[in-house]
Structure 1
Amino acid sequence: MAYLRLPPLLAFILLFAGSEAQQRQSNISLGSSLTPHDQNSSWLSNSGLFAFGFYKQGDGFSVGIFMAGIPQKTVVWTANRDSPPVTSNATLQFTGEGRLVLRSTTGDEQYIGDRDQPASSASMLDSGNLILYSSSGRIIWESFSNPTETLLPTQRLRAGNQLVSSASESDHSSGRFRLKMQNDGNLVQYPVRTPSYAYYESGTVGGGDNMSLVFDADIQLYLLNSNGVNIKNITNGEYPTKDRTYLMRIDVDGIFRLYSYNRRQSNSTWSIEWSSSNDKCDPKGICGINAFCVNNDQEADCTCLPGFDFVEKGNWSSGCESTSVAYSCANKSNSVAYDIEVLSNTIWANNAYSVLQVEAKEGCIQACSDDCNCEAAFYKDGECRKLKLPLLYGRRTLEVSDITLIKVYTTTPLVETTVPKDSDERYRKDILIIGIVLISFGSIMLVISVVVFRKRNFHAYKEINKKSCRCQDVELLGDGVIMPFTYEELEKMTDGFKEEIGRGSFGTVYKGTILNSQKEVAVKKLGKVLEEGEREFQNEMKAIGRTHHKNLVRLLGYCYEGSNRLLIYEYMSNGSLADMLFNPENKPCWEERLGITCGIASGILYLHEECATQIIHCDIKPQNILIDEYRHAKISDFGLAKLLKPDQTKTNTGIRGTRGYVAPEWHRKLPITTKADVYSFGIVMLEIICCRRNLSWTLPEEEAVLEEWVYDCFERGELLKLVGNEEIDKRQLEEMVKVALWCIQDEPSRRPLMKKVLLMLEGTVEIPIPPNPVFL
């Protein structure tokens, strides 16, 4: 490429113009603040067209970017849009520490921008972009990269990002529709909760990596790939730019539109220049469940199914509910009356549970009538699809011949059972006598059953707790039951607690053997004696005993005798994860490390969401991850921190866990949630990736703290440094690192739930670029 050498005078002019362009922004200095009713309720851009600050929403105020230079103060971006509006006493501050924070009178704080990267300055640009800068002038956050429902000229919607409509014209919280620039290159519109039901798409799947939707300064909207190639124009035609303001927005009704505003024309209003659809019934979900959309004179109108009415009058999105009595399949017999109502030219989402071929519409009606589960049916061209309610995404259009059949129930029976008048009195007496006899018999049987049950359990309890029982006679009980042992039995099983196989903060672990089966077990002798709480201890043992998961070490039994507290676990022949990771001779290969990571995540997810009693582990670390004979990971010691230190469970201030793995909220005396385990898991993930401890001062200073070093390598694109000379899949490595960095975010709300962590590890959901986990 040839480079043009500019004359000195021209170079000076361009330099001066560039310098002046840099000044065309409103600088916001540290320590500045705004209040809703103050004259300084917003920070203006240099031209005065855009402002960042408070705007009225409902009975309170929200913070965002709006057009202050036109009579219609149009909101184009909202901060923390799903948080409730604040009162007039709230304050927006750009603190001396470089954080943009909204404080309410109740003490609540909402951060705007990147909380973990303090800014040195901020600017409200004439383009409508709010930017936070580092001390070196680098952009560390901008509103253009975090859009809500609007795009402005020069703004891009990058791969993985989306626009979400507002809830209403006056409520800028998240609504029902989204426009997403997918990672596969397709620009798609669909209802927020059901991405599989798209109603607009660009058809550019495979157009290239890192595709962006570009809204350029010439008011053109197009799709651009990472090589700078225009893949597809979304809008066509040239639009005048002089004295006009433009914006693109996904509206409340789910349609994406280009608007223009003539600033020179008095009493101007926003005019539609282009829209993704001219049919207002196109957005799926505009009418809510059990309702269908009808296009009346270019306006959408929602109608409920026959026998249904709107849940909230005037609120289409609430959907419709049946006005007749609801029946279950058990009582939908021939004595229940219903009519089959027919709707022509209507289409819905296909959620059929059964599809069959019939000769005519009447055959579909009969098929639905014969099936008590069938509440509606779709018929078209000999195909009958049976469905249960609710019906989704309905609309009426003359372009289709689909027929919808709806069962509308009434309270009038089809068959009435009558009793002759001359026998009515005798009939009632018979019924009364039979009822009394049945009730009496049932009561007697209930009393007998209770007596027998309690007597049997009493004897069983006595037998189990006899100290004279011998270990060779003990058999482990079935699922959900853990076995009580005497201290004498455990002494025999461990040969006097001879072989120590592990030691931790809560006690010492010994190897033992059940004598009759020769089954090897691990016996943990707890070092701290619980002086009270026998019932709580036993209840917790039962809760842990009911946990059954392939990635949890199975608790087999316990001893609660005098001052002795012991727990009996299944024996893990390959020791702990720490033994593998921090021993070069036993280092697992990359594939094993991937499997171990997913196994740990699966086990933690079970503890958090899937077992009967939610358990927060509080001490996830490699020493508590045991490895079985097949080198599968199993979590141990779950739930024990709470049992062993009740003085700490009574307050949010007591720190549990192991240094280096403890989540920051422990130190801040904040309430502890499952996100504390997510943080510890993230640290363990980094150790699994790098096969080293999270803190090692034997290494160079820049590598000593693992999470700092990993983020530095990630930011510089040098991830292969983390694994040394290993030949591994670079893409897998990057995804693992990204998941781990999300897990160790300083702010708990930023960390994903374990369910999402597992989905990211399995490649089911995309992994966004993580920010710096903490300001270091």
Structure 2
Amino acid sequence: MASLIAFALTISLVFNIATSQSNITRGSSLSPNGATNRWLSPSGLYAFGFYPQKDGYALGIYIAQTSQRTVVWTASRDNLPLFNNATLEFTTNGGLVIDQAQGQQINIFDAGASIASMQDSGNFALFDSQGTVLWQTFDNPTDTLLAGQRLVAGKTLFSSISEVDQSIGVFKLAMLPDGNLVQYANLGTEPIGSSYWSSNTTGTGPNVTLNLDSNGFLYLLQNSTNFITNLTQGGFPSNNTIYRTKIDVDGIFRLYSHDLRNMSKNGSVIWASSNDKCAGKGLCGVNGYCEVMNDDARCRCLPGFEFVNPELWSMGCERNYTLEKCKMNNLGTAVRMESLSNARWEEATYEIPEATTQEDCSAACLNDCHCEVALFTGSECRLQRLPLRFLEVTDSDSNVGLIKLYVASSNNGSDPSNPWIQIKKARRMGIFVSGVSLISISLLVLLFSGVLIYKARVWAYRKVSDNKNSQLFENVGPRAFSYAELERITNGFKEELGRGSFGIVYKGIIKNSMKVVAVKKLKEELAQQREIEFQTEMKTVPCWAERIRMAIDIAHGILYLHEECETAIIHCDIKPQNILMDGYNCAKISDFGLAKLLEHDQTRTSTLIRGTRGYVAPEWYKNLPITVKVDVYSFGIVLFEILCCRRSVENNFPVNEAILEEWVYDCYETDELSKLVNGEDVDKHTLDRMVKIGLWCIQEDPALRPSVKQVVLMLEGTVNIPVPPNLASFLSTVV
């Protein structure tokens, strides 16, 4: 009898919930093009469902009665856009899941909910059978707060990329644990200089929340009772009016009102964190700055630069020509400095030469191959490299920015009044000619390679039985061959490839692996005296600048695999042996035999351990699902090898130096990084930056490792690098 009464009470409670709000039962579903694509709140004011998103769809909550859809919450912003065949299902076990093609799923809530509800407050909630809220959108805001909703300490609002793309953008509003409400450029971290607005309530204590009332009163409250400060005075109409705050695409935090009697109008702005529409730091990306024209923010590029994407200013600007630095005279060009008055940008000075005038400052930059821009403050000249971040041009600054420009000289037919046109035309013609040539050559190479690959594979299959007892060698360094072996490899030194001061180079093929090799046969009369020189040549390492360029090339290659391919690829075996250098000394990633492809919207996968000892991330050994972060870990080890010009494990080294990552960390902790480069004359600032990047990459917790996109930005100096966490607790366990 007691169980029947409890069951009856449960049914009664569920029924009461169902009659007081718009409820959704288990088994219900939505789809963009299906019969049901949204669930309305009881009054029809808000809707939870699919709506068009750039290049696809998004799932979220929007004000359904406005003439232009006003989005107030978006699901899974890291996975946009969704496909037109996506389906949202409130599953029979009480989960909320987005299903896409080929069985791909995005879990919003796992399981256990009895009823889902779209409420007139704009909140979408999941309840258990007792009416307890298990999950709700009010606790997981995206870029908007509605009346009755709070932003608690540790939570953050992120702007959207654009008005038609709800993916995470370049600004954020964070409620900090110390009670301060702050707006930052969204760089993954909060480096000094990236904030541009705050409530100035630092130190007011923990548990401070940002609150919005139904009359437009926006304020900070501690422990739900202690008033801290108000951002608006409130007192706006509460009848027939709804309010919302949003961190907009331009980075400004605004309070909007909507008149329910005339929903054909868009919302009206009644408060903003700043009236300066250029206030958001990073609005125009690197090498770009913002100007207000006709009450609208407009982005401009530095002289000699153009937008990476004219439709998405936040991607910044790049040079509208490509020339090799410090070799301009060979290309028939002239170099000059262009001034930009009232400029300032993020401090990243590498040298302050003696220069008391603007002309002296210009000359100092012109005579320095590394200098690309300089900032003359009236008393100081600060030399800097590109890119420039947080560039501002305001009337309040007396600084003069000086930008190094490479312009066509007057003897090559360029128009002095507009030298950029000729450079861009020449570049475009060069690209066209190069493109046609490359396509033609590529087709021939592909045809020729196809024939060779086919023949090589047929030959390899025929030799499988002969290779059963082949000796396997760890690919960690040069292998010694006997003269007889070299004679067989080269077919009796038959095919000559070239001649040098040491001897003649012959083409050879290692039969077991079908690898094509070059074999240098020393001249007999010079063999003894040239042996040492030959060994030295084989052991040479690239110079410091080449090593840094190599690291950046590798990171760009991994970025392409992770984020720029149609299907994300985890390489699973990033190591020096799989990095090749092309004819232009550009590093290329090779050997995809262990690579793992991720399905669309799949972020992790389970598989048997792959990779090479010394470069394998810790999660492989723990049998955990792996993500693209395993490649980031391997890159961190490779970066250390590039910097230090040695292998990750050297058994003949002292115990404290044998394992490279442990030694690097020890040197970093004791501020003895010069040991890593054996006294080599390198840029200490760059070395420190590279070591910190590597230490971030090899964090044991994959969530702490940066994405490869962040790694690229750090390598190129676009973002500041925070101090890495302590690694000592786990380095000794990494094999």
TM-score interval, smaller chain: 0.5 to 0.7
Alpha-carbon shift at residue 356 of structure 1 (Å): 4.5
Alpha-carbon shift at residue 158 of structure 1 (Å): 1.0
Partner of 2:102: 106
Q: Deviations over 1:34-55 (max 9, x none)?
A: 2223443211112221111122
Secondary structure, counterpart of 1:231 in structure 2: strand
Secondary structure, counterpart of 2:363 in structure 1: helix
Partner of 1:381: 378
1:442 maps onto 2:500 in alignment: yes
391-400 vs 93-102, which moves further: 391-400
Partner of 2:126: 132
Secondary structure, counterpart of 1:354 in structure 2: coil
Which consecutive residues of structure 2, in runs of 5 or more, have no partner in the other structure? 1-14, 413-496, 507-518, 532-538, 540-572, 578-608, 634-700, 708-721, 728-735
**Is residue 98–residue 119 contact of structure 1 (8 Å, CA) maintained in 2?**
yes
Alpha-carbon shift at residue 71 of structure 1 (Å): 3.1
1:326 maps onto 2:323 in alignment: yes
Inter-CA distance 151–608: structure 2 relative to 1 (3 Å threshold): farther
Inter-CA distance 352–23: structure 2 relative to 1 (3 Å threshold): farther
1:753 maps onto 2:697 in alignment: no
- What is the one-letter code of the residue matched to 1:313? P
Partner of 1:697: none
| Distance of 2:124 and 2:175 partners within structure 1 | 22
| Distance of 2:725 and 2:266 partners within structure 1 | 50
**Is residue 215–residue 234 contact of structure 2 (8 Å, CA) maintained in 1?**
no
| Distance of 1:297 and 1:263 partners within structure 2 | 30
**Is residue 207–residue 231 contact of structure 1 (8 Å, CA) maintained in 2?**
yes
Inter-CA distance 286–124: structure 2 relative to 1 (3 Å threshold): same
| Distance of 1:142 and 1:150 partners within structure 2 | 14
1:64 maps onto 2:60 in alignment: yes
| Distance of 1:129 and 1:330 partners within structure 2 | 61
TM-score, normalised to structure 1's length? 0.53
**Is residue 334–residue 414 contact of structure 1 (8 Å, CA) maintained in 2?**
no
**Is residue 629–residue 702 contact of structure 2 (8 Å, CA) maintained in 1?**
no
**Is residue 608–residue 674 contact of structure 1 (8 Å, CA) maintained in 2?**
no
Equivalent residue for 2:42, pick from 39, 46, 62? 46
Inter-CA distance 36–369: structure 2 relative to 1 (3 Å threshold): closer
- What is the one-letter code of the residue matched to 2:334? A
**Is residue 337–residue 414 contact of structure 1 (8 Å, CA) maintained in 2?**
no
Equivalent residue for 2:152, pick from 145, 152, 158? 158
Alpha-carbon shift at residue 29 of structure 1 (Å): 1.2
Inter-CA distance 69–447: structure 2 relative to 1 (3 Å threshold): closer
Inter-CA distance 141–398: structure 2 relative to 1 (3 Å threshold): same
| Distance of 2:253 and 2:276 partners within structure 1 | 12
Q: Deviations over 1:632-675 (max 9, x none)?
A: xxxxxxxxxxxxxxxxxxxxxxxxxxxxxx54x6xxxxx78878
Inter-CA distance 38–141: structure 2 relative to 1 (3 Å threshold): same
Alignment of 1:521-540 (within 5 A): none
Secondary structure, counterpart of 2:170 in structure 1: strand
Inter-CA distance 336–440: structure 2 relative to 1 (3 Å threshold): farther
Partner of 1:259: 256
| Distance of 2:360 and 2:170 partners within structure 1 | 38
Alpha-carbon shift at residue 292 of structure 1 (Å): 1.6
Q: Deviations over 1:590-622 (max 9, x none)?
A: xxxxxxxxxxxxxxxxx99998743567445xx
| Distance of 1:752 and 1:613 partners within structure 2 | 14
**Is residue 376–residue 389 contact of structure 1 (8 Å, CA) maintained in 2?**
yes
Alpha-carbon shift at residue 354 of structure 1 (Å): 1.9
Inter-CA distance 71–673: structure 2 relative to 1 (3 Å threshold): closer
Inter-CA distance 204–345: structure 2 relative to 1 (3 Å threshold): same
Partner of 1:25: 21
Partner of 1:282: 279
Secondary structure, counterpart of 1:317 in structure 2: helix
Partner of 1:349: 346
Q: Deviations over 1:125-145 (max 9, x none)?
A: 111111112333322211111
Partner of 1:171: 165
- What is the one-letter code of the residue matched to 1:152? L
Identity of aligned residues (%): 40
Alignment of 1:168-247 (within 5 A): 168-193=162-187, 195-196=190-191, 197-226=194-223, 228-247=225-244
**Is residue 290–residue 321 contact of structure 1 (8 Å, CA) maintained in 2?**
yes
Inter-CA distance 224–172: structure 2 relative to 1 (3 Å threshold): same
| Distance of 1:301 and 1:84 partners within structure 2 | 27
Partner of 2:616: 614
**Is residue 214–residue 242 contact of structure 2 (8 Å, CA) maintained in 1?**
no
**Is residue 24–residue 126 contact of structure 1 (8 Å, CA) maintained in 2?**
no
Alignment of 1:539-578 (within 5 A): none
**Is residue 24–residue 125 contact of structure 1 (8 Å, CA) maintained in 2?**
no
Q: Deviations over 1:131-183 (max 9, x none)?
A: 11233332221111111111101111111111111111111111111111122
**Is residue 67–residue 73 contact of structure 1 (8 Å, CA) maintained in 2?**
yes
1:75 maps onto 2:145 in alignment: no
- What is the one-letter code of the residue matched to 1:186? N
| Distance of 2:354 and 2:19 partners within structure 1 | 71
Partner of 1:36: 32
Q: Deviations over 1:656-705 (max 9, x none)?
A: xxxxxx54x6xxxxx788789x9xxxxxxxxxxxxxxxxxxxxxxxxxxx
Partner of 1:741: none
| Distance of 1:364 and 1:762 partners within structure 2 | 39
- What is the one-letter code of the residue matched to 2:259? N
**Is residue 608–residue 615 contact of structure 1 (8 Å, CA) maintained in 2?**
no
| Distance of 2:50 and 2:178 partners within structure 1 | 38
Partner of 2:114: 120
| Distance of 1:330 and 1:277 partners within structure 2 | 46
| Distance of 1:446 and 1:76 partners within structure 2 | 72
Inter-CA distance 754–314: structure 2 relative to 1 (3 Å threshold): closer
Q: Deviations over 1:492-522 (max 9, x none)?
A: xxxxxxxxxxxxxxxxxxxxxxxxxxxxxxx
- What is the one-letter code of the residue matched to 1:150? T
Inter-CA distance 65–306: structure 2 relative to 1 (3 Å threshold): same
Secondary structure, counterpart of 1:303 in structure 2: strand
**Is residue 348–residue 394 contact of structure 1 (8 Å, CA) maintained in 2?**
yes
Secondary structure, counterpart of 1:65 in structure 2: strand
| Distance of 1:112 and 1:364 partners within structure 2 | 56
Alpha-carbon shift at residue 383 of structure 1 (Å): 1.5
- What is the one-letter code of the residue matched to 2:175? M
**Is residue 66–residue 264 contact of structure 2 (8 Å, CA) maintained in 1?**
no
| Distance of 2:90 and 2:108 partners within structure 1 | 10
Structure index of larger Rg: 1
Partner of 2:444: none
Secondary structure, counterpart of 2:58 in structure 1: strand
| Distance of 1:229 and 1:356 partners within structure 2 | 54
Inter-CA distance 151–311: structure 2 relative to 1 (3 Å threshold): same
Equivalent residue for 1:451, pick from 521, 528, 542? 521
RMSD (Å), alpha carbons = 4.0
Q: Deviations over 1:203-251 (max 9, x none)?
A: 1111111221111233211122236322221222421111012111111
| Distance of 1:369 and 1:543 partners within structure 2 | 37
| Distance of 1:410 and 1:389 partners within structure 2 | 18
- What is the one-letter code of the residue matched to 1:388? R
Secondary structure, counterpart of 2:362 in structure 1: helix
Q: Deviations over 1:368-389 (max 9, x none)?
A: 2222211111111301111111
1:145 maps onto 2:139 in alignment: yes
Equivalent residue for 1:268, pick from 261, 265, 270? 265
TM-score, normalised to structure 2's length? 0.56
Partner of 1:12: none
| Distance of 1:104 and 1:266 partners within structure 2 | 34
Inter-CA distance 761–227: structure 2 relative to 1 (3 Å threshold): farther
Alignment of 1:629-644 (within 5 A): none
Alpha-carbon shift at residue 413 of structure 1 (Å): 9.5
Inter-CA distance 376–610: structure 2 relative to 1 (3 Å threshold): farther
